[in-house]
Structure formats: structure tokens, C-alpha cells
Amino acid sequence: MLFPPITLVKLKPGHIETLKHLALKGNIYEYNPLSSSELGKRLGLSQQSASKKILELLNLELIKRKMGARRQLVKITAKGMEVLRKEFSQYQKIFDSMEHIIIRGTLISGLGEGQYYISQDGYMDQFQQKLWFKPYPGTLNLRIEGNDLSKLQILKDTEGISIEGFQSEGRTFGRVKCFLTDIQNVECAVIIPLRTHYTDVLEIISRHYLRDKLKLKDGDIIEIVVSL
Amino acid sequence: MLFPPITLVKLKPGHIETLKHLALKGNIYEYNPLSSSELGKRLGLSQQSASKKILELLNLELIKRKMGARRQLVKITAKGMEVLRKEFSQYQKIFDSMEHIIIRGTLISGLGEGQYYISQDGYMDQFQQKLWFKPYPGTLNLRIEGNDLSKLQILKDTEGISIEGFQSEGRTFGRVKCFLTDIQNVECAVIIPLRTHYTDVLEIISRHYLRDKLKLKDGDIIEIVVSL
DNA sequence: ATTACTATAGTGCGAGTAA
DNA sequence: TTTACTCGCACTATAGTAA
């Protein structure tokens, strides 16, 4: 052949996967032995394909290799680590964004029930202890619609801050959970009863009487950032 | 055909890559619009291939889909997030393991040069300020061999704690960098001159006279855990 | 605009095997 | 034992196109 086989390989998902397994095996800083058959087992591939993967990574300059008598020694290059770091930061971004969710709702008037419930000392004492504020004895009610309803489901699926149930005046007050949040930079908490039927209303408590403090009225669209 | 096409798809790197991009696009909690051509652009694939990828992820139950009039709405399922979380934890493992390295060396006698250098006030003041201890005026010298030499290279490639150079008595004392470490649970620091020729000797300083405190003698094999 | 089918071109995988 | 070649088959990607 007249022309040398300059095979320009593009970076594909399989390459990153391979590189990741090299890193997990500890071939980052130092040359470590890694047979193609062992790599194949890790990747769920044949010895032949794993060998090819190594050659491709060499071609991409993501790894370096020393040939020993019986075995090859492999280590990841700085460029290779760069690729892994980029990948890592993408996953960090994904899971960072999961730490809080934004829910939008419309302010509505409650039935005054919330007020009765949260005023109970059995709840109030725990709020003060676990949320670090003593709530104003009333709740702000947000009606959630459309897409945001699925976010309500997330809250139901997430642990949150647990407020234990108790007995008082011959009644049972059930366990609820809270999520810290804020409305226009005012510290609040969302309260969600643990055992409840379907609802599209979110109850929010705060140290302050929010309707006055933030000049809110029924029908206002409110956005809350909830910490999971 | 008599038999229905039960296509059992196995999870491949490309699927995870696709899922990752869906997550980065925010299709985690809610159904969000995502056209196959847009996905294709992100993945470096054609619209047709991206469409197929979506069908495969659906088949694997890693995503759910709602068909709108003009566009499809896609969100990642709990099972899909499971896959991403596993991937994330592998990268965490990789980069966690990079925070410290273990270097082994043999204790040797220095030429007393190190003692002269680090005793300079220009260095001593910075040691106290940046390492939080005032070193004993002498260094412990470790000869590094074999595989561990590549770890020396890592230290050279890593930033570390910078100790500025200065002028004194008409001489120039160059910039050096330090890495916190310990020998048998005694707090130490590795010192590395920034501009130096090749060496296989690592100099270590500590608040104490280590040879006495740890009963060390020339020829002892010593292992240090260096924080990067 | 979309999604996604079919047909075809291109790539990847692994069995066989050499060194 | 290794690594890694060739080659056949299968899977993957895309162009063309329908709905």
C-alpha cells in the first residue's frame, strides 16, 4: 500500500466506557498490567474487541502503553483524564440540579383547616425544633396545575423532614413531612401529610403571615424553590 | 410472521449516553418536548438514529413518552435515573481515589542541604502560615524507586500548596510547593522545588525530628499518604 | 414541522488463528 | 499464556420517504 493507514478515530460512547473501566481498575497514574481478555470481561466484550478498543484509545492518545514480555502495561494520559473529568462534571450537573425543584402554583383560600392542624402543640414543637422557626398559625394554599403536578409526585416520593404524628384531645394527628423552600426570599416550608388521598393543593407555612408580608392575594401565581 | 417481534435490547454505552443527554436537557421529573432531530444533533447522530435510540430506551423502560400533536414529550423513569446514578457513582469513585496517592520510599541520609534551605525565614514564615506548623529545621529524605517514580511525576504535575520564592543574603531562593501527608500518623509535608532537574528523592518536613520520634534509620521502607 | 419505516451502506464484534 | 490480524456476520447509521 502506498499510503500509511492513518485511521482517524472519532470519540464514541464505547471509548469513554472503556476509559472509565481503566480508571476504575486504577490505571490512572501508573502503568498497570491489563490484559485484553480481562478488559473484555469487564466490558462484556471478547478479547479481540477489547484489544481493538485499546488500540483505538492509543490512537486517540487517551492512554499510553508499554509492552512487557508477556503483558501490556497501560495508563491513562492527561488527555484521557480530561475526557473522564468532563463526563464526571456532566453527571455532577445532572445530580446537582436534582437537589431542588421549582413548583409554580396559584394562591387560593383554604378552608381554615390547615390553621387548626398546624396550631397543635404536637406539631408546633416539632416545627420549631426541626425547621428552626415557629410558624405563624395558618397556611398558604397553592393550587398546582399541569406539568407541575408531577413535581408534587416527586415530593411524595422524597423523604423530606419528618414530623411525627401524635394523639391529642382524643384525636389522632398523622405524620407529615416538610421541605424547606422560599417564596420571594422569605423562608418557608411545604407540608405534606404522609397518608393522604390525591390533592393538587400545596400547604405552606412560614414564620410570617405571608399574605400581608408579601402583599399576596388570591389568584396570584407563586413560584417556590423546594429543597429536596 | 407467527411470532411477535419481542426485541430484547441490552443496555449499551450509547443508551447511557443518550439518557445522560436527556437528563442534561432536564427531562428528569417532567415530560419535556424533545424532537428526535434535536436529540440527534446533541448526540452527533442523524434524526433517524436518534428516533431509534428513543424507541430503544422506551423498550428498556428507561424513559416514558407522550405523543403530542406535533412533538413527543419525554421523561426519564425511576429505572432510568437508577442507571444514571450508578454511572455517576462510578465517576465519583474514580475521582475520589485521585485525592490522595500512596508513595513508598527508602529512608536515606541527605547532604544537609535541605536543612539549610528550609531554615530560611523566608520559607519558615510561609510554612507556618500555609501548612499550620513550624517545621523542625531538617528534612527527611526518601529515595523513590520503580513504579512509585511515576507518582513523583504526578506531584510535579499537581498544583499543591505554593510557597513563594524570595531573596536573602544576596541569594535567590526559588518557589517550592508542598503537599500535606503523614508518616505513621504524624503530620508532615512533602516539599518539591518548582524548577528542578530530575530527582528520585522526596524531601519531607515535619514539626518533629522524625528520625527520633518514629525511631527511623537509613534503609527503612516508608509509606506516605499524600493529599493532592 | 414532526416520527419512524425500509433499504442500503458502514461499523463493530468475535471466531479462527498467527506470532 | 499473551496481542492482534483477517474475515464473515450482525448490528448500527443514514438516506429516502411516508404519514
- Provide the domain count of chain B: 2
CB < 8 Å to B147, chain A: 30-31
Q: Could you read off the pLDDT of A151-209 as tens digits, one per residue?
A: 888 888 888 999 999 998 889 999 999 999 999 989 999 999 988 888 899 999 999 99
* Shared domain check, A210 and A131: yes
In a 3-state reduction of DSSP, which class is residue A192?
A: strand
Residue B184 CB coordination number (10 Å): 12
How far, in Å, CA of A219 to CA of B176, rounded?
Answer: 64
Q: Is pLDDT above 90 for A97?
A: no
* Shared domain check, B111 and B43: no
Query: Domain for residue A92, yes or no?
Result: no
* CATH of residue A32: 1.10.10.10
Residue A15 Cβ < 7 Å to strand C:
no
CB < 8 Å to A151, chain B: 29-30
How far, in Å, CA of B71 to CA of B224, rounded?
Answer: 59
Q: Tell me if B200 sits within 8 A of B138, measured CB to CB.
A: no
Give B209→chain A minimum CA distance, Å.
Answer: 31
* Shared domain check, A103 and A184: yes
Give A18→chain B minimum CA distance, Å.
Answer: 10
Name which of A40, A53, A64 is nearest A13 in CA terms: A53
Q: Could you read off the pLDDT of B186-206 as tens digits, one per residue?
A: 999 999 998 888 889 999 999
In strand C, which positions have an atom below 7 A from any protein CB? 1-6, 12-16
Residue B157: predicted pLDDT: 82
* CATH of residue A136: 2.40.30.30
Grid cell, residue B23, equals 437528563
Residue A7: predicted pLDDT: 53
Q: Is pLDDT above 90 for A150?
A: no
The answer to whether the Cβ–Cβ distance between A150 and B28 falls below 8 Å is: no
Q: Please give the residue of chain A at the shortest CA–CA distance from B33.
A: A147
Residue A9: predicted pLDDT: 65
How far, in Å, CA of A173 to CA of A193, rounded?
Answer: 10
| Bridge-based pairing state of the strands A171-173 and A166-168 | antiparallel
Q: Please give the residue of chain B at the shortest CA–CA distance from A102.
A: B29
Name which of A34, A35, A8, A9 is nearest A23 in CA terms: A34
Q: What is the band of B228 on the pLDDT scale with cuts at 50, 70, 90? A: confident
Residues of A with CB under 8 A from a CB of B: 12-14, 16-17, 20, 23-24, 26, 28-31, 75, 78, 84-85, 87-88, 90-95, 97-98, 101, 147, 150-151, 154
In strand D, which positions have an atom below 7 A from any protein CB? 1-6, 12-16
Residue B219: predicted pLDDT: 95
Name which of A174, A203, A200 is nearest A189 in CA terms: A203
The secondary structure element, H or E, covering residue B188 is strand B186-193
The answer to whether the Cβ–Cβ distance between B85 and A95 falls below 8 Å is: yes
How far, in Å, CA of B188 to CA of A218, rounded?
Answer: 64
Q: Could you read off the pLDDT of B84-101 as tens digits, one per residue?
A: 999 999 999 999 888 888
The answer to whether the Cβ–Cβ distance between B98 and A28 falls below 8 Å is: yes
Q: Could you read off the pLDDT of A2-32 as tens digits, one per residue?
A: 334 445 567 999 999 999 999 999 888 788 8
Q: Is pLDDT above 50 for B67?
A: yes
Q: Please give the residue of chain A at the shortest CA–CA distance from B147.
A: A30
Query: Domain for residue B6, yes or no?
Result: no
Nucleotide nearest to B34 (CA to C1'): C2
Give the domain range for residue B64: 13-95
Edge-to-edge, what's the strand order for the sheet holding B63-67? B32-33, B72-76, B63-67
Nearest to B24 among A24, A93, A150 (CB): A93
Give B138→chain A minimum CA distance, Å.
Answer: 30
* Shared domain check, A144 and A31: no
Q: Tell me if B131 sits within 8 A of B189, measured CB to CB.
A: yes
Q: Could you read off the pLDDT of B3-36 as tens digits, one per residue?
A: 344 455 679 999 999 999 999 998 887 888 999 9
Burial A91-100 (b: 16+ CB within 10 A, else e): beebbeebee
Query: Domain for residue A38, yes or no?
Result: yes
Residue A1: predicted pLDDT: 35
Cβ within 8 Å of residue B190, ≥6 positions away:
B155, B178, B179, B181, B202, B203, B204, B224, B226
Domain boundary among B42, B70, B95: B95
Query: Domain for residue B1, yes or no?
Result: no
Nucleotide nearest to A33 (CA to C1'): D2
Nearest to A17 among B13, B31, B97 (CB): B13
Choose between A79 and B141: higher pLDDT: B141
- Concatenated DSSP letters for A83-143? HHHHHHHHHHHHHHGGGEEEEEEEEE---SHHHHHHTSHHHHHHHHHHHSS---SS-EEEE
* Shared domain check, B206 and B189: yes
The answer to whether the Cβ–Cβ distance between B94 and A101 falls below 8 Å is: no
Q: Could you read off the pLDDT of B111-143 as tens digits, one per residue?
A: 778 888 899 999 999 999 999 999 999 999 999
* Shared domain check, A203 and A118: yes
Residue A195: predicted pLDDT: 84
Residue A48 Cβ < 7 Å to strand C:
yes
Q: Is pLDDT above 80 for B144?
A: yes
Query: Domain for residue A1, yes or no?
Result: no
Query: Domain for residue A24, yes or no?
Result: yes
How large is the average pLDDT for residues A136-163? Answer: 88
Q: Could you read off the pLDDT of A24-77 as tens digits, one per residue?
A: 998 887 888 999 999 999 999 999 999 999 999 999 989 999 988 888 999 998
Q: What is the CA radius of gyration of chain B?
A: 28
